[in-house]
Amino acid sequence: MPNACRALARVAWGAAACIVSGAVSAQQITAAFGGTDSGGSRLSVTFTCTGTPTCTGTYVAVSIDAPGGCTNPQVTTDAMVLQGLDLSATGPIHFTGTFRNAESGDTNNPDGTCSITPGSQSDAQVTFDGQWDGTVASLAATALDRQGRISQFEGGFTASGVNIKPLQPPPFQMQVTSDINATTASASAVVQFDAGDVGKSIYVFAYAPRSLVKSAVRRKDGADNSCVLAQPDPSTGQLTGQLPSTLRAAGNVQTAQGQSVTILQNASTPANAGASYFVGVGSDPGSMITSGANQGAVAIPGSQQCPSVFPANPQALSGLWYDAAESGWGIHFTQRGVHVFGAWFTYDGSGNPKWYVSPDCTMANANATSGPCTGTLYQVSGPLFFGAAFDHSLESVQQAGTLQVDFADPSHASMTYTVSGVSRTVSITRQVFRDSGTPPAIDYTDLWYNPNESGWGMAVSHEFDVMFLAWFVYDGSGKPIWYVAPDCAVTGQGCSGALYQVAGPTFDPAAVHANAVGTVNVQFTDPNDGIINYTVNGVTSSKAITRQVF
């Protein structure tokens, strides 16, 4: 397989998540919850159990200590049981859980790692409260540790399997010291960078409420994010809007033994209220943002609090594009640096839905908002998606043609393609499907996938309080097929809406027919990760998704 095909095989196509209304008799529960415990450690717990009202099974808990603690993740797996889990009716739920040997003491090793102290393990008791809608539940978990401290976590469960993305270690160890009062805020950190980061730039930046930010970068569709990338002006201290490419470095990594970094120094607390500050490291600011080589350092309390996980948003050309005169087909672009990923949903000669991809339509300049990109189009076949385990051995990638897109600006372009010897040029524009409403705190516009099942994925276009989902998977014959949720209404940190299968033919809008095949619910667990729960033609399941960073 050529290099481009190998790269394509790693790219996931978007999955839409569907939800069934009414009560469901769920005999198998797959759940996840996590957050920061009372001691400052990050905890992620996943478990699967069977039965109601008593549900028995096993769990996996991953704990990553706060900086200065154990340097290795602590992983525990054992039996667990839930009591009082009543899923006979939708609505509020309350139950308790016992997780065997989840509590333990640590023995510090000379190399900075920790081991479980023999004989120190005991059971953990957790109380759960949440809402159950028949397929998926949101959860608030409360635990009391052996020191009597209370920890609170968030999570959810579904009635079918969810491939939970494991908790990842932070990109570097960091110990933050802060002094924040009603008038001033100061914070610094001792950061232990990796040896491979020596010589790279250090970045200190904020994710801040737009109302506090001067010259905040506007969204590509004209709406304003509630939280935007910013840095304090060196002269005035005023938060000023930035692009990932324009972030100023705070210095260079000098050593991997621990280095002091100033985050805030006597800054105005009201002028930073609600902002979350980050420390990052990289050869350039754009790659530092998109690769996730950053972590939250300190959050300034405010009435509008920005997340302490930075969203790995793509650049300005990203989103849904179409020809208004030929409504019924479209192409979703995801731009990162000089690379534009095109996911084109259209129809074959018989009017059946079919999709093509151009995973590396290359532009002349990084992060450009105009100019041409050129790339190869591929068609992909794969395994039956619904009702079966994803089988990578059935994936096949073939070159189908070429693509060139000439962007006049972030909203207008011409698209020239050649497929099976047939060439055509068509004018396309950004599809604006919602132009007013409450602007989102986080823009989820991106290409989303499951790293463990690369080969399918979901393109999300997010405008105000609506998301448009384009889902690229395979039918029972392994042929590429797509579905759309054109009006996925935002609810909380996600959206819900109807899911449709569409038939063509390709460029005759009068012949386009859409049939409802299910409903969709997507819940994002943080700015870069989420869970989709879907029912398509009677098949119900769940998948974890994450932003596709390339």
* Residue 43 and residue 34 in contact, taking contact as beta carbons nearer than 8 Å: yes
Q: Which long-range contacts (CB under 8 A, 24 or more apart) does 539-542 make?
A: 539/386, 539/387, 540/18, 540/20, 540/135, 540/159, 540/160, 541/160, 541/161, 541/386, 541/387, 542/17, 542/30, 542/136, 542/158, 542/160, 542/161, 542/162, 542/163
Stretches in the chain below the pLDDT threshold 70: 1-27, 67, 159-168, 216-225, 506-509
C-alpha distances (whole Å) from 53 to each of 85, 94, 473 are 4, 11, 36
Return the amino acid letter for 23.
Answer: A
**Mean pLDDT estimate for the chain:** 85
Using alpha carbons, select from 143, 133, 141, 48 the residue that is nearest to residue 92: 133
CA–CA distance, 178 with 499 (Å, rounded to integer): 47
Cα separation, 328 vs 347, whole angstroms:
9
Contact 377, 393 (CB under 8 A): no
d(CA 321, CA 317): 10
Report the amino acid identity of residue 265: Q
Nearest to 499 by CA among 476, 482, 522, 483: 483
Domain boundaries, the chain: 3-14+434-547, 28-158, 173-299, 319-430
In the β-sheet with 184-192, what is the strand arrangement from edge to edge? 173-180, 184-192, 259-268
Question: Which option is the CATH number for 28-158: 3.30.40, 2.40.160, 2.40.128, 3.30.70?
Answer: 2.40.160
Tokens 């990553």 found at: 64
Cα–Cα distance, 131 to 100 (Å, whole number): 25
Q: Are 469 and 534 in contact (CB under 8 A)?
A: no
Other residues' Cβ atoms within 10 Å of the Cβ of residue 228:
23
Q: Residues with Cβ < 8 Å from 147, sequence gap 6 or more?
A: none
The model's pLDDT over 273-303, given as tens digits with 9 standing for 90+, comes to 999 999 999 999 988 987 889 999 999 999 8
| Beta carbons of 445 and 223 less than 8 angstroms apart | no
Asked if residue 165 lies in contact with residue 548, where contact means CB atoms within 8 angstroms, the answer is no
Q: Helix, strand, or coil here: 6?
A: helix
Two structure tokens written together for 341: 């990923």
pLDDT of residue 390: 86
CB contact at 8 A, 93 and 82: no
The amino acid occupying position 145 is D
3-state secondary structure of 110: coil
Q: In the structure encoding, which two tokens stand for residue 4, read together? A: 């481009």
Q: What is the reported pTM?
A: 0.71
Q: How does DSSP assign 395-406, residue by residue?
A: -EEEEEEEEEEE
* Cβ–Cβ < 8 Å for 159, 135: yes
Torsion (CA) 535, 539, 541, 547 in degrees, nearest 10: -60
Residue pLDDT, tens place only, 335-344? 998 999 999 9
